[in-house]
Structure 1
Amino acid sequence: MSTQTAKADTRAQEPAPGVWPVAWTTVVGAIGVLLGTTVVAVAIEPLAGILDVPLATIQWISTGYLLALAVVIPIVPWAQQRLGGRRLWILGLAVFLVASVLSALAWDAASLIVFRVLQGLGGGILMPLMSTLVMQAAGGRGLARVMAVVGAPAALGPILGPVLGGLVLDRLDWRWLFLVTVPFEAAGIVLALRYLPKDGETRPARLDVPGFVLMASGLAGMLYGLSDASRDGGFLHPDVLVPLLAGAAAVAVFSVRALHRRSGALVDLRLLRHLPLSSSTLLLFLSGVALYGAMLLIPLYFQQLRGMTPLAAALLLIPQGVGTLLSRSPAARLSETAGARWVVAGGFALVAVGTVPFLGATEHTGQVLIGVFLFVRGLGLGALTVTLMALAFEGLARDEVPHASVISRIGQQLGGSFGTALLAVVLQAAMTTASVPAEGFQYAFRWAFGFTLVAVPLSFALPGRRTSRA
């Protein structure tokens, strides 16, 4: 490669100068949303006792949030076209802020569930829109390095949220679970008014109502079915199988319909012909399994097998969060030089290595050993997620970015829900046949390990390193 070509490559990889104010502005707003999503993870059982309702009822503060999120995500490209990205971002933050305050003021379980659904509607706007705004500001340059900053809250939320939730339950009133997010949302609105580019002239766009009904109901049905999979009967229970199959059928009809529409589809699935987007979405699905599926097993291992409190279990997950944070920027730079496929394959390999101690873990396995391997696991998760999230937008035009953001977000969301549901079923089945509880956890961790190993060779289906022409 000539010196001129190398310089051209460097210039092409440098992020656009105006992207950083947009990136940091959206990060502040997203932190509140992601904490609001994960901070209640350790609070389900305590809230059931506090509000004097069955566990199955209070579980809807998570299930309702998740379903509202799924319903809103597909409509975000249309809403951005109608309102503009800046206005829509501020609207989403305002909805989430109001819902957070209302959740803290809830007077019973029913009102809390309703306000959490409202939170989910705000979060469903913000999560895909965050990637869209930043990727559009980046203009196709330095995508991995930009995503290393933008994606940090998404990587750390599942780790730090439970820690914060445990601290709140240990030291404060339960209402602070929802109030702790308010400063981030308020600051996010102020920063958005100052730093997000003003919206230009918006375009009138007709909402694809049949497509919205199919996609929203399909995603909601699939996620609802998966969320119920831990009950007796697993995936074959009617309350799981019926909504899961009905949701999958609705998504299939939507997909056929969208692929045959030349324009105006709610989500432009024709973009899946673009190899970077389709291959990264598949692997984001598997990364969702690797992250969220194991994030079900690891805290349960600490709490049920080792008898730890939710707060202690959450604190032991911090090494994984630290590893995730530290690997993101180096992985972004490495993906620009070595190519995405090597970074992602290496990331999944590190996740597999970090899972190894759990394959034979008992209640006596050393905590230091587990902490070291969780740190390695975090390094892998950070490397592969930042690379895949950036790759999904490579080579796309500005008006294609909102649709790619929805597609990649749905892939990761479904992966997380599927992984959590499957490993919950596997763990439950293993516990009924295991001679000691440790064997049940070991068996479930082998499934998580297997999913991760499968992703390593699949990573080589990703596009190779792009080169610039002099």
Structure 2
Amino acid sequence: MPAAPTLGDTAAGSGTPTGRPREYGVTALASVVVLGSLMTVLDTTIVNVALNRLSRDFHAPLAAIQWVATGYTLALAAVIPLTAWAIGRFGTKRLYLLAIGAFALGSALAGLAWNTESLIAFRVLQGLAGGAVQPVGMTILIRASDPAHRGRMMSILGLPVLVGPLIGPVLGGYLVDEVSWRWIFLINIPVGVLTLVLGARFFRRDTPQPTSRLDLPGLLTLSPGLALLIYGLSTGAERHTFTTAGVLLPTLLGAALVVAFVIRALTARDPLIDLRLLRHGPFGSAAATLALFVCGYFGSMLLLPLYYQVVRGQSATGAGLLGIPQVVTTGITMQFAGRLVDKVAPRRLIMSGVALAATGFLAFTTQVAADTPYAVLLAALAVMGIGVGMTMMPTMASATRNVDNDRIPAASTTLSIIPQIASSIGGALMSVLLAGAIADRLPGTMAGGLEAVHALPAGAVRGLAPQLAEAFQHTYVWAVALVALALLPALFLPRGKREAV
């Protein structure tokens, strides 16, 4: 046996097994994939805390500088649908290293940006590269891991998705305050180089296996459709209205294009993404469970730092630190749950996780007030974190466990798109509901929502804290309901360990 860790006995590109993969080799692969994924996930959140500084340094209005974040997200969503075809055309190792290299290059250029326009352009380059990293990395891990141990691999892969959104604001705040905003981008360079070196060393070179021509009509409907839909939802959330032409038109057009893609994907011989996978019970049930759960959970994540800052008077860094206990419980639970889903019926584990997450979330919601002890809030969030750890990656593992090797790229791409859309819809919904709740409880001058609150003196905001807390509590109820609704599709998850897709 060679001393250096390799992919094991399964070719990463072809997915043709020649025996059980060596555990050490798969673990090495997982470490590289997690490193690359963490870099891209952090970049979706780390920039938010720097927008105010960027607006000041570039003398740009917030409406313009916001595209530094929005442009990245849109590019990320637009390129994901292309990855399934690109994997067959270029192979997983070549495509992954190319994406990581382009992301590091985009990061370097963003760190050297000289004005708003150049920074936005380089962020789009980052997004185009970053959109391929997660689905390709997921494909590599799924193909390399034994289906009997896939839950453990998926639990490791899920760490960046859950940890990144909470570490990002804290790290970004420190770099902006103590170093320079440029380092929120430049920090990616050494991480990207390390990922490239490790990926070149550990990933086995695979032979590209193009099975069909690029579905150009599918690409021209889904990619711009996702970009327009996410743009409309995010813009509507920022403006707290979806009735203006600048918000309503792109939202409706994006939705229409996505519907057109779905129709084509279900009828075309070689679609860009094989949505026929959703017709199969285990995969479709897992996808629906994931969509509802992500919509409620990740959609509500924008509420927590706002609650801590607006109602409780915490700083941005303080709000980020208060989220750490939940991340720790989620991460620890995920590792146990990932191994457990390889041994028990997915339905039992995932339904227990959804129920526990909804219970902890509801306990937190009932305690949202202006003076609730932090220990009470953190305890409820820790319970929710345990439920999240029992739900997210076990659901993905259940969806992919018995998917044929040649359909793994399509499955990985679909499972990467679902959280993007669901979290965008959830975030927009929570933002609009919060603005309405604030306006209902503080009419007149508070009709402007959080913007009007920010314009008030600190003493006045403290005086309004009980009403603001009530508005947050009202909004959280909707998020809890979405999480609880995930129990319905979870009822149809496999009852046994080996139920085929």
Q: Give yes or no for TM over 0.5.
A: yes
Secondary structure in 2 matching 1:228:
helix
- Of 28-37 and 127-136, the range deviating more from structure 2: 28-37
Look up the match of 1:89: 96
Look up the match of 2:419: 412
What does 1:337-352 align with in structure 2 at a 5 Å threshold? 337-352=343-358
Distance 2:86 2:490 in 1: 34
Q: 2:487 aligns with which of 452, 456, 466?
A: 456
Look up the match of 1:318: 324
TM-superposition CA deviations, 1:213-235 (whole Å, max 9, x none): 01111111111111112255623
TM-superposition CA deviations, 1:268-327 (whole Å, max 9, x none): 111112222211111211222233211110000011111211111101110111011110
Look up the match of 2:53: 46
Distance 2:369 2:317 in 1: 20
Look up the match of 2:237: 230
Distance 1:44 1:463 in 2: 45
- Structure 1 residues 232 and 22, CA gap change in structure 2 (3 angstroms): closer
Look up the match of 1:400: 407
Secondary structure in 2 matching 1:234:
coil
- Report the residue type matching 1:461 in the other structure: F
- Alpha-carbon offset, residue 181 of structure 1: 2.1
- Alpha-carbon offset, residue 367 of structure 1: 1.2
Distance 1:343 1:400 in 2: 26
Q: 1:276 aligns with which of 254, 271, 282?
A: 282
Look up the match of 1:7: none
Q: 1:354 aligns with which of 352, 360, 363?
A: 360
C-alpha contact 1:16 1:141 (8 A) present in aligned 2: no
Look up the match of 2:477: 446
- Of 18-27 and 189-198, the range deviating more from structure 2: 18-27
Distance 1:233 1:34 in 2: 26
TM-superposition CA deviations, 1:100-154 (whole Å, max 9, x none): 1111111112111111111100111111111111101114231101111122111
- Of 229-238 and 416-425, the range deviating more from structure 2: 229-238
- Structure 1 residues 405 and 468, CA gap change in structure 2 (3 angstroms): closer
C-alpha contact 1:60 1:113 (8 A) present in aligned 2: yes
- Alpha-carbon offset, residue 13 of structure 1: 11
Q: 1:303 aligns with which of 306, 309, 314?
A: 309
Look up the match of 1:328: 334
C-alpha contact 1:16 1:139 (8 A) present in aligned 2: no
- Structure 1 residues 400 and 202, CA gap change in structure 2 (3 angstroms): closer
C-alpha contact 1:84 1:200 (8 A) present in aligned 2: yes
Secondary structure in 1 matching 2:332:
helix
Look up the match of 1:189: 196
Look up the match of 2:42: 35
- Structure 1 residues 14 and 286, CA gap change in structure 2 (3 angstroms): farther
- Of 34-43 and 206-215, the range deviating more from structure 2: 34-43
- Structure 1 residues 35 and 201, CA gap change in structure 2 (3 angstroms): closer
C-alpha contact 2:354 2:487 (8 A) present in aligned 1: yes
- Alpha-carbon offset, residue 42 of structure 1: 2.1
Look up the match of 2:450: none
Kindly indicate whether residue 134 of structure 2 is the aligned counterpart of residue 127 of structure 1.
yes
Distance 2:343 2:209 in 1: 38
Distance 1:28 1:373 in 2: 30
C-alpha contact 2:230 2:424 (8 A) present in aligned 1: yes
Look up the match of 2:459: none
- Alpha-carbon offset, residue 56 of structure 1: 1.3
What does 1:365-380 align with in structure 2 at a 5 Å threshold? 365-380=372-387
- Alpha-carbon offset, residue 241 of structure 1: 2.1
- Alpha-carbon offset, residue 349 of structure 1: 2.1
C-alpha contact 1:283 1:459 (8 A) present in aligned 2: yes
Look up the match of 1:150: 157
Distance 1:384 1:422 in 2: 22
C-alpha contact 1:16 1:142 (8 A) present in aligned 2: no
- Structure 1 residues 387 and 15, CA gap change in structure 2 (3 angstroms): farther
Secondary structure in 2 matching 1:200:
coil
- Structure 1 residues 350 and 117, CA gap change in structure 2 (3 angstroms): same
C-alpha contact 1:294 1:420 (8 A) present in aligned 2: yes
What does 1:117-266 align with in structure 2 at a 5 Å threshold? 117-203=124-210, 205-232=212-239, 234-262=241-269, 264-266=270-272
Distance 1:292 1:49 in 2: 30
- Report the residue type matching 2:330 in the other structure: T
Distance 1:380 1:181 in 2: 31
Secondary structure in 1 matching 2:147:
coil
Look up the match of 1:56: 63
Unaligned runs of 5+ in 2: 1-18, 443-466
- Structure 1 residues 13 and 277, CA gap change in structure 2 (3 angstroms): farther
Secondary structure in 2 matching 1:198:
coil
- Alpha-carbon offset, residue 238 of structure 1: 2.4
- Report the residue type matching 1:95 in the other structure: A
Secondary structure in 2 matching 1:464:
coil
- Report the residue type matching 1:245 in the other structure: L
Q: How many residues align?
A: 457
- Alpha-carbon offset, residue 91 of structure 1: 0.3
C-alpha contact 1:13 1:142 (8 A) present in aligned 2: no
CA RMSD for the aligned pairs?
A: 2.0
Distance 1:227 1:196 in 2: 37
Unaligned runs of 5+ in 1: 1-11
